[in-house]
Amino acid sequence: MRCLMEQQVLEPALSALARIAQTRTPAAVLQGVLIEAERGQVTLSAYDYDVALRMTVEASVVDPGSVVLPAKLFAELVRRMPKGTVDIATIAPHHMSASIDVGATHAELHGFDPEEFPELPDMKGIEPVELPAKTLVAAIEATAYAAAKQNPTRPILEGVHVACDDGRLVWTATNGLRLAQVKQAVDRELPIRFTVPRRALSELLRLLEDEEETTVQVYQSASFVMFAWDNVQLFGRLYQGEYPDVTRVIPTEFAAECSVDRMRLEEAVERLTILAEDEHHSVTLDLSDGVLRMSSRARDRGQAREEVPILESSGEEVRVTLNARFMLEMLQAMEGKVVRMRFAGRNRPVCFHDDDDHLHLISAVLTRD
């Protein structure tokens, strides 16, 4: 195999593929990126059995063929090479290593047998659903943060649930202690219902960073979802089983509510987090007399207090303790200038809504005082 590609085209593709390839895996070939050269283009693939990425780039193909090269080394090497044409050629007799040349720069990488690289999921025959990239980006940014980082006993909580319900595309993520939910209006019922790993959506977000005017085709099979546009295909393995019914934890009655400036609240939480060093990073919110008072305490270091100006409020006095880290991550994921806070009562969850009325919920840290 021999092919030629421009460094400024190859480098960003390899950077994305290297994020997918695993450095710790029983199958060494999964540490690599599969390079397939044929008919004026090169297809690059990375796969870890949970997330897969396939990208196609224009190339001058001298000799068709394939090879698997270690993804992270290959990406780092190409990133540091001078701009110009990258000449990649497999080395005889086994053709499982390759030379990489740009001008006077030469390198050789030992690779893997391409026959050992697993086939990516087959989505042939599946009718796609088309969604604007900006719709996907907005939903992922508002919800993915709330999914569990790691939950061996309930791995489905590491994913984001997506379903079409009553003319709305509903995105939900929870780790059992916090929740984020976005409802987007669609013009028809869509055959979409799946729970996909947060990691796959985080990668989708990075790939769509400069593609918000693009239309993405979404393919769903029994085991995978694929997001495809232009020369990119991103796959995520679906979690099996029922996603938990989150409606049971969302309060329907509230004792009080108030509206505050989002940035002012975020700045206050950032400061209070410094002295919120117990196990739950606790910050206490006290809404009374039209004032939102917040405080935190570190037993051996000190304490902090803050008053956040209220734009409007109603209801009775209420006091509740929340996880400051959860609050900060939530506020950073929210859009708009104003946050509406709805208090269900002492030791009960607090609901937060932004300008788009997306729902964010944080469970209370149980306290006795």
- Residue 172: which of 142, 215, 134, 127 has the closest Cα? 142
> With pLDDT > 70 as the criterion, what percentage of the chain qualifies?
99
pLDDT surpassing 70 at residue 369: no
Determine, yes or no, domain membership for 332: yes
- Confidence grade of residue 212 (pLDDT, cut at 50, 70, 90): confident
Find the CATH number of the domain harbouring 6: 3.10.150.10
DSSP 133: H
Spatial separation of the C-alpha atoms in residues 219 and 120, rounded to whole Å: 14
pLDDT for 367 equals 78
Average pLDDT score over residue span 93-122: 94
Tokens of 224: 């995978």
pLDDT for 33 equals 97
pLDDT for 292 equals 96
Contact 98, 91 (CB under 8 A): yes
Give the Cα-Cα-Cα angle 175, 254, 331 (nearest 5 degrees).
Answer: 45
Spatial separation of the C-alpha atoms in residues 34 and 46, rounded to whole Å: 7
From 16-30, 153-167, 282-296, 299-313, the region with the lowest mean pLDDT = 16-30
Backbone φ/ψ region at 258: left (φ over 0), alpha (ψ -120 to 50), beta:
beta
Spatial separation of the C-alpha atoms in residues 48 and 295, rounded to whole Å: 44
pLDDT surpassing 90 at residue 279: no
Same domain (yes/no): 137, 49: no
Average pLDDT score over residue span 141-152: 95
The tens digit of pLDDT for each residue in 290-323 reads 899 999 988 778 899 999 999 999 999 999 999 9
Same domain (yes/no): 238, 272: no
- Indicate the pTM of the whole model: 0.92
Q: Where in the sequence is the domain holding 21, given as residue range(s)?
A: 2-116
The tens digit of pLDDT for each residue in 323-341 reads 999 999 999 999 899 999 9
Same domain (yes/no): 7, 76: yes
Determine, yes or no, domain membership for 257: yes
The tens digit of pLDDT for each residue in 50-86 reads 999 999 999 999 999 999 999 999 999 999 999 999 9
Same domain (yes/no): 180, 263: no
pLDDT surpassing 70 at residue 150: yes
Mean pLDDT, all residues of the chain: 94
Tokens of 345: 């009562």
Same domain (yes/no): 182, 287: no
Question: How many domains is the chain partitioned into structurally?
Answer: 3
